[in-house]
């Protein structure tokens, strides 16, 4: 299999036609995922990963929804190379309306997928930030966040979670999340 064509100017002119060109319907999900990592999966790293694999799905660092909503310019956060498709933008946050608005911005830049971070255990994120892994304790809030994001955009919305917050409780979390959704 070959990677999706990336010749369209998906970043230079983010619009509906460019987004559609970058996200072929029914495209197979890549087996290799380059996980989102703070201070690691920035543009240069993703370009290097693309050299290693033309088919890997690349992820951005996690961007906080309010950072995108209140920044004067988001290009420093959301800019990516044309050869980076398929690419996922990971968002952190816990307010459904803010996540929905940030998802719209992400989609307008031509990203193939938006992901809600329910997995980061960092005290900076899960502690005072009230998002990341701490969201695994609040499946109803996750449901509301994902629902708001999915209603705001046409691209796939996914959730990244951990095996557990305190123990191996991901099956319980995902079961509760599915039941409330």
For the segment 106-119, the average pLDDT, to the nearest whole number, is 94
> Which listed residue (89, 95, 120, 161) is catalytic?
120
Its sign, for the CA torsion 78, 79, 81, 83, is: positive
Residues 6, 111: Cα–Cα separation, whole Å: 12
**69 falls within a domain:** yes
SS3 of residue 9 by DSSP: coil
Q: What is the DSSP string of 102-131?
A: HHHHHHHTT-SEEEEEE----IIIIITT--
**26 falls within a domain:** no
**82 falls within a domain:** yes
pLDDT tens for residues 19-76? 333 444 455 566 777 777 777 777 888 888 888 888 888 889 899 999 999 999 998 8
120 is a catalytic site residue? yes
pLDDT tens for residues 139-156? 889 999 999 999 999 999
Range of the domain at 58: 40-180
Residues 113, 86: Cα–Cα separation, whole Å: 8
pTM summary value: 0.74
**Contact (Cβ atoms closer than 8 angstroms) between residue 120 and residue 135:** no
**66 falls within a domain:** yes
**151 falls within a domain:** yes
CATH of the domain at 163: 3.20.20.70
pLDDT at 168 over 70: no
- Read off the pLDDT band of 133 (50, 70, 90): confident
Q: List C-alpha distances in Å: 109 to 18, 56, 82, 122.
A: 9, 20, 11, 28
Q: Looking at the 3D structure of the chain, how many domains does it have?
A: 1
**50 falls within a domain:** yes
**92 falls within a domain:** yes
**84 falls within a domain:** yes
């Amino acid at each position: 299999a070959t990677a999706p064509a990336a010749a369209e100017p998906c970043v230079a002119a983010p619009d509906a036609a460019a987004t559609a060109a970058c996200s072929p319907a029914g495209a197979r999900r890549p087996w290799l995922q380059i996980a989102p990592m703070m201070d690691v999966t920035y543009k240069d790293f993703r370009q290097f990963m693309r050299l290693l694999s033309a088919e890997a799905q690349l992820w951005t660092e996690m961007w906080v929804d309010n950072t995108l909503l209140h920044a004067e310019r988001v290009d420093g956060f959301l800019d990516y190379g044309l050869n980076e498709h398929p690419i996922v933008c990971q968002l952190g946050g816990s307010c459904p309306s803010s996540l929905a608005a940030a998802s719209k911005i992400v989609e307008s830049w031509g990203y193939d997928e938006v992901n809600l971070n329910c997995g980061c255990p960092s005290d900076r994120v899960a502690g005072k930030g009230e998002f990341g892994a701490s969201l695994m304790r609040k499946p109803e809030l996750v449901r509301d966040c994902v629902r708001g994001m999915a209603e705001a955009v046409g691209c796939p919305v996914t959730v990244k979670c951990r095996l557990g917050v305190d123990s191996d409780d991901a099956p319980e979390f995902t079961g509760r999340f599915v039941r409330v959704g």
